[in-house]
A and B are shown apart, each in its own frame.
Chain A
Amino acid sequence: MKKFALFIGCNIPAKVGQYEMSARAVLEKLNIDIADIKDFNCCGYPLKNTDQNAWILSSARNIALAENAGKDILTLCQCCFGSLKKANALLKEDNELKVNINKILGKEGLKYNGTSSISHYLSILHNDITIDELNKKIIDHYKDLKIATHYGCHALRPSEIMKFDDPVAPSIFDNLVNITGAKSIDWPGKLDCCGAPVLGINDNLSYDLTEKKLGNAKKAGADFICVACPWCHMQFDKIQDQIVLKRDKEYNLPSILYTQLLGLRLGIGKEELGIASPDNKDNEHLNQIYSKLFDTEAQKEKKPKKKTSKEKELIKKKAIKKETQSVE
């Protein structure tokens, strides 16, 4: 398999640290080595509105750094993925642009050649590691968990460049959710925008779009909305709280990052995945939803009744004893 450099972008270290934590924990569990390139800069996404040249240079510099290190880029954020991949495509088809960009990069001894590829985390899991392999590593399954997958615009479209999945009927994300035992539900608008791109530009519009998605997913019976992009996550997380407060609505539809959803079933601890309990501890409804994350099939088969933690420990100890006896 190719060697990847992890591209975390700007939002994840500042606002969605749990995404990086969980993504690294999952890769470690799957025995995949990743490199870190300290000099990576912003992908250029926020610059697109005002200065596309600055965006392309930002992306090109990252790709050049990855080329220098002999790595391919693995992104966690779908907007980083979109920006980098789009810039890469533009640079490949426009030689004049490439020459100009390389003139600027040359000042610090860098050169863009276009030899490194850009992939999103979900593609790597689905296409490189494969579902079969993941199935082997999963130790137990969610018992009763309904997930609304949120694909994210900039991963899917424009499809001729992104080549992430079928832009009209994608399945990667749903497949990845289903192997954990959770059920990926059908819901209207799952391929639509989360609202993040216009937050700060037109807050009401952004809230409208987010609210609509939350309402649709909830109506379809989702326990969690599952994302693989920090923008989408921030939108369904903190911005949901703002909407609840400002518009006097209640959705009780928390957002979970796919790396967290998968990580739990790979046997990674919730602290390691950065899964926090709901802020409002008195919200029974939310507590109930969160408890579903720890209710699994494997437990059901072995222990029909819910055991207290003491009993669990006893069982564990017995199991260890048995093992050691058999070894002897």
Chain B
Amino acid sequence: MTFDLLFNLSLIIFAIGMIFKIVQWFSCKIGIQAQNSFFSKRLISSLKAMPGVIFSTKIIIILKIFILDVLFQYKILKQDVLRWVMHMLIFWGFILLFFMHALESVVSEKIFSYYYSTVNPFMFLRDFFGFMVLVGIIIAICRRFFMKIHRLYTNKKDIYAIFIVAIIILSGFFLEGAKIISHTDFQNMEKDFSALDYKEDILALEAYWVKYYGLVSPNIIIEQISSETLAAGEEIHNESCIDCHTRPQAAFAGYAMSKMMKPVGGLLDSMGMVNILYYFHILACFIGLALLPFTKMLHMITTPVSLITNAIMQRDKSDPLNIATRQLIELDACVHCNTCSKTCSQGPAYDVKNNVNILPSERMVSLRQYFKTKDLGSSKFMAIQEGIFLCSNCDRCTVVCPAGINLKELWYDVREEFIRSGASITSLVLSPYSYNRTYNQDDFGATLADMPAKHARGIIASKYKKKSHSEDVLSLTDTSNELKDNKEPAFHDATFAYCFSCENCTNVCPVVMNYEKPEQVLDLLPHQMMRSIGLGLENLALGSNMLWDCVTCYQCQEHCPQNVKVTDIFYELKNKVAKDCFYSQKE
């Protein structure tokens, strides 16, 4: 009765949660793929696409992925053997337990006519499967808490996932142990299945069970059992019990627990420990079920979906609405395993900047929050933005992701969303990280591919004074000039002081050569840049277009007769602008 009530309740919560999730997947927006779309439109378009997949050769791909990557988890194996062992143990242990033990009335009893959970091989197997999960959990705990894996972060969701599985399995083992020693259970079973009339017979059976089945009885002292009693007990046992009971050693884990509890067995039994543990066990299972849609355990559903959909969908052929839906499912398919962060090309940038959003796995966590609220406050938004722009598009995360998530496209699309929202301000758009947007402009339908850089230049221009006219008088005694107050040398490289304006740098500069009136486009020419700094007019140089139009070809530096490190100084100036005008996570 209580079981049914709890079960149904958890099932209802699970169902509501799943509906909530599905609505979210089909109606929320992230990236640029689903502008102006709503729930029904996206649901219909995904349903429309399905027949085309099922009745085509794609079904073979789906089967292949299902066997190779879902059941055998080949993608994990390729990256990390220990993680594969861990996950295979938990995955298969749990699946087998689920079908054999949790669904025994629906599955095991239907398939095996002789199924009894207390008879071998089932009694052994149940413990064996549970043990598999437990070993997997121990590896998981070691990985997360003791192995100190670089750039591996563990959050509440990871801890919950480990915790709930561990609780389910351990409570099961304890329950089994408590049942083995329980005198109350023995009495009930005896009444139901043998119904002995004489007290001596009951005691004889009890003695036999104390001796061989680990029972703890208030009536029997194991050392005082006589061989006659034992023989009498065995006779009754063979008559009534043996068919349904293998000796408990087969359930090795539960048996070990019973050994542990034995000294206080009588007390535990009188407290009704079997009942307590039973409810504890099923409650843990039901909580796991009810909360599944809201926890990391949802990956049981979403990760296979991600693996399969990514194997059959193509950016240029699939409906953008379906890509949008897939991208939302992908956010839930991420298991925060850190494979991507471990392989990320930009990992060292994280080591310097300490912004966790530079690591793909942590960025996924932030994006999950972002798509829900879209308003995370400016510093959090800036941090995500720095992470998502600080990406060299090497695609390594996408190649290694064990959940098959197309991270690359997710980054593209979210980056694009940020750019189009107009809220995007980062110095990173003024670096080769921007290359990809122009290179792939057709994919984004970007008409002005370098627009983000232009936007950033506008911000810089508003901060610094520009030389607007060649005839302008420039004051050299400006007391507000930072350079003069600064006690530390403003530049690591002070070679600009050697510049005597021979203009060699300007004459060899391919950028200067590109323009008819370069001083109008670039504000300052290379030799003027060096002279400005030399004269303490640092701001003039910092605000000039020349800085960002420099192609860093080092022609100027190579040809300088005074060994002024022109290009290197440009880099220093650019770094200064990036630091002064834009967000960067502080250490």
Contacts and interface: CB of A to CB of B under 8 A. Distances in A.
Interface of A: 9-11, 13-15, 38, 41-42, 44-54, 57-58, 61, 104, 107-108, 153-154, 156-159, 167, 189, 192-193, 195-203, 205-206, 208-209, 212, 234, 238-239, 242
A159 B555 CA distance: 10
A44 B348 contact: yes
A48 B571 contact: yes
Contacts of B438: 199-200, 203, 206, 239, 242
B409 interface: no
Interface class of chain B by DSSP: helix
B143 interface: no
B449 A203 contact: yes
Contacts of A42: 345-346, 348-349, 392, 394
Interface residues of B, number: 56
Contacts of B230: none
A45 B432 CA distance: 8
B346 A199 contact: no
Contact of A193 (B348, B450, B510): B510
B558 A49 contact: no
B432 A53 contact: no
Nearest to B571: A48
Contacts of A53: 352
Given A193-B510, A201-B548, A158 B571 contact: no
B553 interface: yes
B552 interface: yes
B430 interface: yes
Contact of B439 (A38, A157, A159, A234): A234
A48 B570 CA distance: 10
Chief secondary structure at chain A's binding surface: helix
A10 B352 contact: no
A234 to B, nearest CB: 7
B417 interface: no
A10 B393 contact: yes
Contact of A13 (B396, B429, B511, B552): B396
Contacts of A108: 150
Contacts of A209: 510-511, 514, 551
Contacts of B549: 198, 201-202, 205
Nearest to A15: B439
Nearest to A61: B348
B344, B433, B436, B553, most chain A CB atoms within 10 A: B553
B475 to A, nearest CB: 30
Nearest to A201: B453
Contacts of A154: 552, 554
Contacts of A11: 392, 394
Interface stretch (B15-23, B83-91, B320-328, B572-580): B572-580
A193 B428 contact: no
5 contacts: A54-B349, A158-B558, A197-B552, A199-B434, A212-B514
Given A46-B431, A192-B510, A209-B511, 4 more contacts: A42-B346, A51-B353, A198-B549, A200-B436
A280 B157 CA distance: 52
A50 B578 contact: yes
A245 to B, nearest CB: 10
Contacts of A239: 438-439
Given A10-B393, A54-B353, A199-B434, A41 B450 contact: no
B9 to A, nearest CB: 47
Given A205-B549, A209-B514, A239-B439, A158 B394 contact: no
Contact of A14 (B395, B550, B571, B584): B395
Nearest to A9: B394
Ranked nearest first, the 8 interchain pairs of A and B with the lowest CB-CB distance are A200-B434, A10-B394, A157-B554, A42-B345, A49-B431, A153-B553, A46-B432, A10-B392
A68 to B, nearest CB: 14
Nearest to A241: B442
B557 interface: yes
A202 B575 contact: no
A13 B395 contact: yes
B351 interface: yes
Contacts of A54: 348-349, 352-353
Interface string B517-560: 00000000000000000000000000000001111111101100
A161 to B, nearest CB: 10
A41 B346 contact: yes
Nearest to B408: A14
Contacts of B424: none
B304 interface: no
A154 B571 CA distance: 14
Given A42-B345, A50-B430, A157-B553, A199 B394 contact: no
Interface in B390-444: 390, 392-396, 399, 427-439, 441
Given A14-B393, A49-B574, A203 B150 contact: no
B347 interface: yes
A52 B273 CA distance: 64
A157 B555 contact: yes
A239 B429 CA distance: 19
A52 B571 contact: yes
Nearest to B574: A49
Contacts of B435: 46, 196, 199-200
Contacts of A201: 429-431, 434, 450, 453, 548-549
A236 to B, nearest CB: 13
B504 to A, nearest CB: 13
Given A10-B392, A14-B395, A193 B434 contact: no
Contacts of B555: 153, 157, 192
B91 to A, nearest CB: 25
A62 B438 CA distance: 28
Contact of B575 (A9, A49, A198, A205): A49
A38 B343 CA distance: 8
B551 A197 contact: yes
A205 B514 contact: yes
Contacts of B347: 41
Contacts of A234: 439
B496 to A, nearest CB: 16
A38 B353 CA distance: 23
B460 to A, nearest CB: 12
Contact of A197 (B427, B428, B432, B453): B432
B554 A49 contact: no
B427 A50 contact: yes
A153 B572 CA distance: 19
Contacts of B584: 51
A17 B311 CA distance: 21
Contacts of A206: 438
A228 to B, nearest CB: 16
Nearest to A14: B395
Nearest to B396: A13
Interface in B128-156: 150
A47 B436 contact: no
A44 B431 CA distance: 11
A19 B399 CA distance: 19
